[in-house]
Amino acid sequence: MRPMNIGLLGLGTVGLGTYQVLNRNQEEIQRRAGRSIRISMVADLDVERAKSLVSSDCLVVNDGREVISSPDVDIVVELIGGYGIAYELVMSAIEAGKHVVTANKALLAMHGTEIFEAALRKGVMVAFEASVAGGIPIIKALREGLTANRIEWVAGIINGTTNFILSQMREKNWSFQQALEMAQSLGYAEADPTFDIEGIDAAHKASIMSAIAFGVRMPFNHAYIEGVTQLQSQDIRFAEQLGYRIKLLGISKQSQEGIELRIHPCLVPSKSIIANVEGAMNAVMVQADAVGTTLYYGKGAGGEPTASAVIADLVDIARLHAADPLSRVPHLAFQPQAMRDTPILPIEKVETSYYLRLGVADQAGVLASVTSVLAQHNISIDAMLQQPSHHKEERTELIILTHQCIESQMNQALAIIQSLPTVIEPIIRIRKEELI
């Protein structure tokens, strides 16, 4: 049987890792796939650099369209990123009848619905294990391993940059800016880290997982997104005293009213497994009715970890490319005609619990006035901590953990509390999840 020929678009960190792992493990991969898989063509703007990194029998060009138009290429691997030229090339590859493998979470979150519809019409596969959590096989787990289950929620640390920053803030009592600069110096954060620190990268990934878990079209445009730029080291410290750690989580839950899709900093119990995921590592928890809670942990980025997922997709396609398209695993786990238009809940309708930090005047009656407002809005208190201020006299820090309530209730209560004359600084609010 002739080799399965791969056309690689982009020879950056992941592209080079894919080329190297595929060559290094060629024998094992062939034994699993039933045929040889080889990269026969590479498109990269820096042709000379690319030629120096691949063997002489691999054709290097500077235009991805040449790869797509080559009759010898069976599968196009898109590792360019973004949703400009990458979108054009992926759609062109599908139109040319070629299978596609991509690690491009932004592309799928923004255009996944139309990409999968085009692939279905042409009878080709689009595989994207590498788009979420690097080398962790969470897509396969959600799409295949848990197919007998009704998934209740998915929650994950799915951005290594922000997890590294939060780990440094906790371990070294650093400010956000200090931790970000360290992440940039080590290569964990880009020169422009906006997509990571504002939660957008995690939202792309959470949207993909949510679509697969609940059988809905890509919900990115309806996600609630809040990054980590406003987090302060004192809140990380106070959370620790109360038995919690703060993580940036991507959370998707199914309820009778609809689906929650939210990305924001979150207190989680310090004894939980996910609270102890440190540095640039990723972890995803899935709660399902039959199997209960499962955890998927590993490296969420990097050349070879992500290449592991890319090559796993290549092996799947090599095994299944000759199968009847209707017999293949659907792109988003559910049969296309069974996808639902379940509403994505606005954050105001989400029910969760909260960490509140109030800078208040150190005088009698302050606590009573705050708790009275909470009680009027049916918000009960779970725990409380009072700390003297280190930078102002006659002021104290009041930290409150609440039980669950609807976000709109909390918004109303905080608006009233903020207007109290004894509350002298903006209230800090961080959501809390027990994940049990």
Q: Which domain CATH number covers 311?
A: 3.40.50.720
What's the whole-model pTM score?
Answer: 0.95
Same domain, 94 and 194: no
Same domain, 152 and 278: yes
Residues 69 and 71: their CA atoms lie apart, in Å, by: 6
Residues 100 and 97: their CA atoms lie apart, in Å, by: 9
Is 376 a member of any domain?
yes
Residues 46 and 15: their CA atoms lie apart, in Å, by: 13
Read off the CATH number of the domain in which 415 is found.
Answer: 3.30.70.260
Check residue 222 and give its pLDDT.
97
Same domain, 126 and 188: no
Same domain, 243 and 316: no
Check residue 393 and give its pLDDT.
65
Read off the CATH number of the domain in which 230 is found.
Answer: 3.30.360.10
Q: Which residue has the tokens 């990458």?
A: 86
Structure-block tokens of residue 367: 């606590």
Same domain, 121 and 143: no
Structure-block tokens of residue 327: 């017999």
What is the gyration radius of the CA atoms in the chain, in angstroms? Answer: 24
Residue 40 contacts residue 59 (beta carbons within 8 Å):
yes
**Is residue 3 packed enough to be buried (19+ CB in 10 Å), middle (13-18) or exposed (0-12)?**
middle
Q: To 10 degrees, the CA torsion angle through 143, 351, 353, 295?
A: -10
Residue 250 contacts residue 155 (beta carbons within 8 Å):
yes
Residues 203 and 307: their CA atoms lie apart, in Å, by: 22
Same domain, 263 and 251: yes
Task: Work out whether the CA dihedral 235, 397, 224, 351 comes out positive or negative.
Answer: positive
Same domain, 174 and 321: no
Is 148 a member of any domain?
yes
Is 402 a member of any domain?
yes
Same domain, 295 and 206: yes
Check residue 121 and give its pLDDT.
95
Structure-block tokens of residue 194: 């906006």
Is 163 a member of any domain?
yes
Tens of each residue's pLDDT in the chain, 436 residues? 789 999 999 999 999 999 999 999 999 999 999 999 999 999 999 999 999 999 999 999 999 999 999 999 999 999 999 989 999 999 999 999 999 999 999 999 999 999 999 999 999 999 999 999 999 999 999 999 999 999 999 999 999 999 999 999 999 999 999 999 999 999 999 999 999 999 999 999 999 999 999 999 999 999 999 999 999 999 999 999 999 999 999 999 999 899 999 999 999 999 999 999 999 999 999 999 999 999 999 998 889 999 999 999 999 999 988 788 888 999 999 999 999 999 999 999 999 999 999 999 988 889 999 999 999 999 999 999 988 766 556 789 999 999 999 999 999 999 999 999 999 999 999 999 998 7
Same domain, 122 and 56: yes
Check residue 93 and give its pLDDT.
98
What are the two backbone dihedrals, phi and then psi, of residue 414, each rounded to the nearest 5 degrees?
A: -65, -35
Is 150 a member of any domain?
yes
Is 342 a member of any domain?
no
Same domain, 278 and 353: no
How many domains does the structure of the chain reveal?
3
Check residue 391 and give its pLDDT.
59
* Domain containing residue 91: 4-134+303-337
Same domain, 368 and 282: no
Residues 419 and 409: their CA atoms lie apart, in Å, by: 16
Q: Domain ends where: 315, 337, 359?
A: 337
Is 422 a member of any domain?
yes
Is 343 a member of any domain?
no
Q: To 10 degrees, the CA torsion angle through 85, 89, 95, 99?
A: -140
* Pairing between β-strand 224-225 and β-strand 259-269 as defined by DSSP bridges: parallel
Same domain, 73 and 201: no
Residues that are catalytic: 205
Alpha-carbon distances, residue 153 vs 22, 262, 352 (angstroms): 35, 12, 13
